[in-house]
Amino acid sequence: MPTSEAAAIAAELRTAMGKLTRRVKNEDRIPLGQIAVLGALDRDGAMTTSDLAADQRVRPQSMARAVGLLLEQDLVTRRAHPTDGRKSLVELSDAGRAALEAERSRRAGWLAQAIEAELTDEERALLARSAALLERLARH
């Protein structure tokens, strides 16, 4: 059972991280659901629409709409599944990769500006050390 101190830290950290995540996502030019699909394809490679739906925890019909919008924007391409002729694979296009990188850069740029504007040198050093701790917690 966690101590009351650990529980209090966890609650504060969860709230702060949620606020920061939402604020960083406000920098997006592409809708969040579409960015999530592009990110999954970048991370995991080509997938079926059903696999994408499972990965993103949405209904297959919702994912089919999202993939359709991404296809219209040429951010993804579709190709035949190599072993199952009834299926097709969705994969990131060069334009999709460029758009995803632009979104990531925009987010990181905003965050870097906020760190520079809001934090002292000492606070920046503390934040840098904290990033490693957050990574360690994420792997737990």
Give the pLDDT confidence score for residue 123 in this predicted structure.
95
Which portions of the chain are predicted below pLDDT 70? none
For residue 54, the one-letter residue type is A
Give the pLDDT confidence score for residue 45 in this predicted structure.
96
pLDDT digits (tens, 9 = 90+) for 59-96: 999 999 999 999 999 999 999 999 998 999 999 999 99
Give the pLDDT confidence score for residue 117 in this predicted structure.
96
**Contact at 8 Å (CB) between 100 and 38?**
yes
Give the pLDDT confidence score for residue 31 in this predicted structure.
87
Give the pLDDT confidence score for residue 12 in this predicted structure.
92
CATH code, 119: 1.10.10.10
Tell me the whole-structure pTM to 2 decimals.
Answer: 0.74
Non-local (6+) Cβ contacts of 50 within 8 A are 60, 63
Can you give the residue range of the structural domain that contains 45? 4-139
What kind and span of H or E run contains 120?
none
Give the pLDDT confidence score for residue 24 in this predicted structure.
82
Domain count, the chain: 1
Give the pLDDT confidence score for residue 107 in this predicted structure.
87
Tokens of 59: 């209904």
**Contact at 8 Å (CB) between 35 and 75?**
no
